[in-house]
Amino acid sequence: MNITMNRAELLSAAQKAAAIASESAPLESLKGALLETSAASNTLTITATNIETSLEQKLSCPTGEDDAVVMNAKLLAGMLGLMSGETVELRRLPESRVLSLRSGETAYEWTIIERGEFPKMQFPFPEDTVTVRGIPSMARRTMFATEDNKDKPLLKCVNFMFTQEGLKGASYNGRSMVTAKGDDKSTGNASLLVPAAALEKLAELCTDQDEFKVGTTGPSIVFMRPGLTFSTRLMEGDFVDIGYLMGSIRNQFTVLSDVADLRRTLQAVATMDPKGRVKLAFDGGRITFSCKSELGSAVESMDVVPLTGAPQGEFWYLVPELMNSLKALSGTVTLGIAQAGMLNLSTEKAYYMQSAMREPAVPPVAVQAQSKEAKPKKIPAKAKKPSKSAAKKAA
């Protein structure tokens, strides 16, 4: 290996590889990044994996030989980050197991691992792939309704549905559900369960304008674009029937509003109890948000446009989940209240549903204060009169 390339470019790729490689892997090679040079294509390929998820990046780089070495991914990123030169040199002599890195006035030498058993990525056939754009937007609209529950793995995944109308995404955590529209050109007939953690990593590596070719290879889904390939193992199981859930909802009334106005009003009262519950009180063309805690209470109202039914009633919802949905949605929204107070928000790009909660109990501090006030005050016992014999002794 004998290459010279831009240090910042290599550092960025090494940091992405370090985010994938597992420091707790049983094999030393799985903690590392595979660096491969190709004389034919003048590229440096960096691959990292934790078995469940893999990432391959290709960087343009003049090289006169083919080589492959494995070195600790986090260590490589750390060394490159400490260097100050504009370019970096990677060198190793033939048959040597020592790789040297030089940049500016800094030089490192590190014992590498030969490629050995480093896992190879599997790629789908081009004719079996579909084109997908807008991965970060899809992640933002769906991931907030997932939950990291080790006993219910399907709650921590996003359902990618390739339909005749394009890509749709859905997630459900037992209390909230969301469906979102994706690229309308990503047509097909498949339903795949993508781990939310892997989708989050992929969203950090791209923009909405990036176009991927997406396909499956056995148990994994693979996202491919020039210079980057991302693969993650799909989850198995039967996802909740989103179509049935949505079809069973019958709104008692609906109102029209703006997501930004709802978000601002919720933020104003949620400061009182950000992790608690908020009350939405409907009265015709007005919604009143209120939140209370042991610190006090906050109330703010806003105007809405009644659409169907008679908007009336009071309902309680979890602040964090409602806030996350309003941060993920945008534009004009139809807000509906269905049976049992179920709240649903519908925009052009997404549909969100959250179950109603019970009114919170009296805050513990208040209960303690009441109990203390209710306790009767102790009345001191009357002093006993001294006996005649005690009085004589005292005299």
Q: What is the DSSP string of 70-115?
A: EEEHHHHHHHHHH---SEEEEE--TT--EEEEEETTEEEEEE-EES
Estimate to the nearest angstrom the gap between the alpha carbon of 51 and the chain centroid: 20
Domain 249-354 in CATH 2.60.120.560 = no
Structure confidence at residue 118 (pLDDT): 84
pLDDT block averages, 10 residues each, the chain of length 395: 94 95 77 92 94 94 90 93 94 88 92 81 93 96 90 92 96 94 94 96 96 95 97 94 88 98 97 95 97 92 97 97 94 97 95 93 52 50 50 45
In which element (H, E) is residue 281 found? strand 277-283
Q: What is the dihedral of CA 58, 64, 70, 76, to 10 degrees?
A: -70
- The CATH label, of 3.30.230.10, 3.30.1320.10, 1.10.3470.10, 3.10.150.10, for the domain at 126-242 is 3.10.150.10
The residues, ordered by sequence, that sit 6+ positions from 261 with a Cβ below 8 Å of its Cβ are 302
Domain residue extents for the chain: 2-114, 126-242, 249-354
At 273, list the tokens. Answer: 């109890």
Q: Taking the model in full, what pTM does it have?
A: 0.85
> Domain 2-114 in CATH: superfamily?
DNA Polymerase III, subunit A, domain 2 (3.10.150.10)
Encoded amino acid at 176, one letter: S
Structure confidence at residue 375 (pLDDT): 52
Decide the pairing of beta strands 350-354 and 343-346.
antiparallel
Decide the pairing of beta strands 157-163 and 98-103.
unpaired
Decide the pairing of beta strands 32-38 and 67-72.
antiparallel
C-alpha 167/C-alpha 162 separation (Å) is 5
Structure confidence at residue 9 (pLDDT): 97
